[in-house]
Amino acid sequence: MNENQRVQQVLAGNTSAFTYFVETYQDMAITIAHRICGNVQDAEDVVQESFVKVYRNLHAFRNESKFSSWLYRIVYNTAISHTKTRIWISNTTVELSDVQEISDFDTEKQIADTERTEMVQNVLNKMPKGDALLLTLYYLEDNAVKDIAKITGLNEPNVKVKLFRARKLFKELLIGTEFQLA
Co-location of 31 and 66 in the same domain = yes
| 84/86: higher pLDDT | 84
Angle at 39 between CA 38 and CA 40, to 5 degrees: 135
Q: What is the pLDDT of residue 101?
A: 40
**Model confidence at 111: pLDDT above 90:** no
Co-location of 174 and 132 in the same domain = yes
φ and ψ of 89, to 5 deg: -110, 125
Co-location of 169 and 129 in the same domain = yes
Co-location of 79 and 135 in the same domain = no
From first CA to last CA, the distance across the chain in angstroms is: 51
Give the residue numbers spanning the domain of 131: 108-181
Report the CATH number that the domain containing residue 68 is assigned in CATH.
1.10.1740.10
Co-location of 63 and 129 in the same domain = no
Domain membership of residue 95 (yes or no) is: no
Domain membership of residue 90 (yes or no) is: no
Residue 120 burial by Cβ neighbours in a 10 Å radius (0-12, 13-18, 19+): middle
Q: What is the pLDDT of residue 166?
A: 93
Distance CA 37, CA 170 (A): 20
Under a CB-based contact definition with an 8 Å cutoff, are residues 87 and 128 in contact? yes
For 35, residues 6+ apart whose C-beta sits below 8 A from its C-beta are 124, 129, 132, 133, 136
- CA 67 from chain center: how many Å? 15
φ and ψ of 168, to 5 deg: -65, -45
Supply the DSSP symbol for 92. P
For 7, residues 6+ apart whose C-beta sits below 8 A from its C-beta are 58, 61, 67
Q: Which of 111-115, 138-142, 143-147 has the lowest mean pLDDT?
A: 111-115
Q: Mind listing the pLDDT tens digit for each residue in 53-79?
A: 999 999 888 877 789 889 999 999 999
| 27/98: higher pLDDT | 27
Mean predicted confidence (pLDDT) in 146-170: 93
Domain membership of residue 77 (yes or no) is: yes
- What is the residue-averaged pLDDT of the chain? 82
Structurally, how many domains does the chain consist of?
2
Co-location of 51 and 116 in the same domain = no
Report the CATH number that the domain containing residue 141 is assigned in CATH.
1.10.10.10
Question: Which amino acid is it at 127?
Answer: M
Q: What is the pTM of this model?
A: 0.62
**Model confidence at 21: pLDDT above 90:** yes
